[in-house]
A and B are shown apart, each in its own frame.
Chain A
C-alpha cells in the first residue's frame, strides 16, 4: 500500500520533509516505525504519537488506511 505520512514539529526537521509517500507491505504501526527508524535513525530518540486515518492509535494497530501522521508533543507557549 502507498502511505502518505505527515511529520509534525521537530520530526519534519529530522525527515527534511513535512509529508512523503512511502510503499508499505507489512502490517502494523510498529512495523512502519521500524522501517522509518531505518530510514531516519534520529527519529528513534524522539517522543511522538502516531495517527492512522486521523486518529491517534496504539503501535499494534493494523494499517488499513493510507493517511498516517507522526506527532510530537509541543511545549512552547
Chain B
C-alpha cells in the first residue's frame, strides 16, 4: 500500500478512507478536456472501478489540453486510448471503456454500475441526459463545464440536494451556447476544473465535509477570481414527473445546441434547389403555393418518409416552428440530409415570398 501512503497519512482519509476509495465505482462521461484530469487523478488515487464513456476519437487539436493522450493516440477512440494510458498509471484498478455515445437508451444500464457520475461532457443535451439519469438512478453528479477562460463546478443530486435543472431548468435556445471546438479554450482551464471535479469525487467517497452540493463554483482564470453561488432546490414537479414515469425523455437532442439548425425566411429562400416541406395539417392558413414546396402534414410523416429519399437540402416549416422541430427530429433519425427549421413559420414565409417576387 505504499502507493497510497500519502493519503493514508492524512488523518481525514487514513486506511479506512483509502479502503473506501478502493471499492468506489465512478463513471466519467467524456474523456475530453475535463475527463482527462478527472481520470488521471482518480486512477492515481486508486478508485477501484472507473468507467469511461466517449464515442469520439483523439484529434491533434485535442492534445493542447487532453493530457492523457499523446501523438501515438491520434485516431484512436478516446475511451480506449485513455484506458491504455491509465492502466500504465495504475494497473491495480478496474477500468471499463465504453466507446459509444451516452444516450437515453444506454444511460440507465451504464449508470446502474457506478456510485458517482462525473459530467465531463461537451454538449448541453448530454448534460440534461446525465442529470436525469442520475435522478432516476439516485446517483450524485459531479458537474464541470468550461467557456474560454472560465469554468463552473458543482455537485448535483447529492443527498437529495439540488440538480442541474435547479440551476438551469430548461435547455437554452438553439445556438445560445457554444462548445470548445467552435470558440477555443485555454488549455490549462479544463485541467483546473477537472481537478476540482476529481477532488469533489474523493470528498464524497471518503465522506469529507464541504462537498459542493447546492453550490456553484465559478472560476475565472484571467482574474483568478472564484465566485461561490448557492443553488436553491427547485423543479420538484419535473423531478417528481420524471421519477413517476421511471424513464428518460426521448428528446434530449431536440432543440439543444446546433443539432437542429434554425434558418430565417430570408436565408431559406436564398438556398438554391432547397425543398420546402410544410408539416401543417390540411386546411391551415395561409395556404402557400410556390415551386419546390410540398405539404406533408406531421400526422402523415411516418407513412411518407419515402418522399425524403432524394438527397437534398430540406427546409421544414409549420405555423410557429414547434411541429417542424418534431418533424426534423424524426427525419434526422432516418436520413443524413441537411434539414433546416424555419423558425419564423408560415406567415413570415408568405410575407417574404411576396417581397422575393417583387
Q: Which residue numbers of A lie inside 8 Å of B, CB to CB? A: 6, 8-10, 18, 45-47, 49, 51, 54-57, 69, 71-77
Contact = CB atoms under 8 A, between A and B. Distances in A.
Interface in B206-263: 216, 218, 220, 223, 227-232, 257
B230 A76 contact: no
B176 A45 contact: yes
B124 A76 contact: no
Given A8-B218, A51-B229, A77 B168 contact: no
Given A10-B147, A55-B232, A56-B167, A75 B218 contact: no
Interface of B: 30, 32-35, 119-124, 127, 144-148, 150-152, 166-168, 172-173, 176-180, 183, 185, 190, 216, 218, 220, 223, 227-232, 257
A76 B229 contact: no
29 contacts: A6-B227, A10-B147, A10-B178, A18-B223, A54-B227, A55-B230, A56-B216, A56-B229, A56-B231, A72-B147, A72-B177, A73-B127, A74-B145, A74-B150, A74-B152, A74-B177, A75-B145, A75-B178, A76-B178, A76-B179, A76-B185, A77-B32, A77-B33, A77-B121, A77-B122, A77-B144, A77-B145, A77-B146, A77-B179
A24 B219 CA distance: 27
Contacts of B180: 76-77
A69 B147 CA distance: 16
Given A8-B218, A72-B176, A77-B179, 4 more contacts: A45-B176, A47-B176, A73-B145, A76-B183
A45 B167 CA distance: 19
User: Quick one: which of B32, B35, B176 has the most chain A CB within 10 A?
Assistant: B176
B177 A77 contact: no
B122 A75 contact: yes
If over half of B's interface residues share one DSSP class (helix, strand or loop), that class is named, otherwise mixed; here it is mixed
B124 A73 contact: yes
A64 to B, nearest CB: 16
Contacts of B119: 77
A18 B231 contact: no
B167 A75 contact: no
A54 B229 contact: yes
Central interface residue in B30, B145, B190, by most chain A CB within 10 Å:
B145
A49 B173 contact: no
A54 B230 contact: yes
A10 B30 CA distance: 23
Contact of A71 (B177, B178, B229): B229
A73 B124 CA distance: 8
Given A8-B218, A47-B173, A56-B167, A76 B146 contact: yes
A54 B227 CA distance: 8
B168 A76 contact: no
Contact of B124 (A9, A10, A49, A75): A75
Q: Name which of A47, A71, A73 has the most chain B CB atoms within 10 A of its CB.
A: A73
Nearest to A12: B150
Given A8-B218, A47-B176, A76 B227 contact: no
